[in-house]
Structure 1
Amino acid sequence: MLIETFADLTCPWCYIGKRRLDRALEQRPGIRADLRWQPFQLNPEMPPGGMARADYLVAKFGGAERARQIHRVVEETAERDGLALALDRIQRTPSSFDAHRLIRIAGRRGLGNAMADALFTAYFAEGVDIGDRDALAATAALVGLDFAEARRLLDTDAEAASVHAADSLARQMGLQAVPCYIFNRRYALSGAQEPASFLPLLDLGAEEPENLSVVTG
């Protein structure tokens, strides 16, 4: 069963939603899920070097205090879900473009899902700047990729065109927020839903033939 997740690596709800999808799949052990990550940049105009977190919070939320109020909901949700979340450790808000490229590079070796997991953990639990290419290569090494090779590829335009194309497709489909999950390229579910919300679509998708070409949502 093909499950495509449109997400951004800097989106806490995508981090939470990823764990909830995993929990739903644990309840359906008979389903063989092919998990693929599709890029959606929440901040497509972000400079390659990112920006100071404090400046970003002012620009997005009007200041740190307002951001803390909004983040409190995220932190409480993550805690209930058993996820490590340390937003106060994040010093820079990165461009997620290279992180999306790295997931696709890892995906060539069947490690795209593991790479997404590692990047979410690095950013949200450890405050790693996932816009920094050395940090990205180090994270790639944690899932079994060669540090030097990953670093070399990040210095090229590897997967840049495919990330741009997939991000553009998401917007053409009408996506304005993430996460969004598409099952067998037919059924869509948006938001960091509770695990139970995934189950009907998992059951429905498991009953259908693979390689469907129609995308809804």
Structure 2
Amino acid sequence: MTDDNQKQHVTIDIVSDVMCPWCHIGRKRLNDALSELGDDIKTTVHWLPYQLDATLPKEGKNRQQYFIDKFGSLDAHEQIYAPINEAGKAEEIPFRLNDITVSPNTLDAHRLIFWAGRDHGSDMQNKLVNILMQFYFEQGKHIGDDDVLVEAAEHAGMPGEKTRYMLASDESKEVIQNQIETIKSSGVNGVPVFILNKKYALEGAQSKSVIRDTIQEVIKLSESD
């Protein structure tokens, strides 16, 4: 086993939205790529916020109506879901997209993710993001709802009562909104985006092999700096 001091360190900042199915796919492919890289590489993963639709109300919007308003008809519903379901099968992600009844505003989910990282560390943050994505994409839960967010927090190991109290406040709303604005002004207009060592960006839910090879290339570039 390699000593931690001898391992290559890579930071991975992931810009994502928990209502983005390709972010769920990208998360799975990243985890698989990291598993293949083995113990000689140490990674620290941080999640950064992005909102695909910040105009949604706190209570969310009926999913079918959301598709009609955004794309003009429900026909787009099946066209959009088809490649997602296909990719989900390939990655063994049990998508249940038709069980989603509400398109959520994800600002509060991003606040919760931010608190997990700030107060409990990157491992807790990763765990929480995974739970939120599973809740939404695999169980159809409304991840803009406070009860669901508290449930996710408790599943991750965060204190439920404190989480509920914080969600009822405006704590960190401005922080998250400013982060999103900064990210968008940097040129990000879609997610996921993987930022390696604060310097190299990998856009989209790339394949496991592309993610793995890119991380290895970043390590080589870092060694030559």
TM range (shorter): over 0.9
- Aligned equivalent of 1:148, options 161, 176, 191: 161
- Aligned equivalent of 1:41, options 39, 51, 56: 51
CA distance in 2 between counterparts of 1:89 and 1:47 reads 20
Q: When the two structures are superposed, what TM-score results if normalisation uses the length of structure 1? A: 0.93
- Aligned equivalent of 2:33, options 13, 20, 24: 24
- Aligned equivalent of 1:2, options 11, 22, 25: 11
CA distance in 2 between counterparts of 1:159 and 1:27 reads 36
Aligned residue pair count: 211
- Aligned equivalent of 2:20, options 3, 8, 11: 11
Corresponding position: 1:93 with 2:119? no
**Residue 53 of structure 1 aligns with which residue?**
63
Mapping for residues 173-212 of structure 1, pairs under 5 Å: 173-207=186-220
Mapping for residues 128-143 of structure 1, pairs under 5 Å: 128-143=141-156
Higher Cα Rg: structure 1 or 2?
Answer: 2
Gaps of 5+ in 1: 213-217
CA distance in 2 between counterparts of 1:139 and 1:102 reads 9
Name the structure where helix makes up a greater proportion of residues.
2
Gaps of 5+ in 2: 1-9
Pairwise CA RMSD: 1.6
Q: When the two structures are superposed, what TM-score results if normalisation uses the length of structure 2? A: 0.90
Code of the residue aligned with 1:25 in structure 2: it is L
CA distance in 1 between counterparts of 2:90 and 2:214 reads 24
Is the 1:8–1:42 contact (alpha carbons within 8 Å) kept by the matching residues of 2?
A: yes
Residue identity (%): 31
CA distance in 2 between counterparts of 1:93 and 1:83 reads 20
CA distance in 2 between counterparts of 1:207 and 1:165 reads 33
Secondary structure at the counterpart of residue 63 of structure 1 = coil
**Residue 132 of structure 2 aligns with which residue?**
119
CA distance in 2 between counterparts of 1:203 and 1:158 reads 38
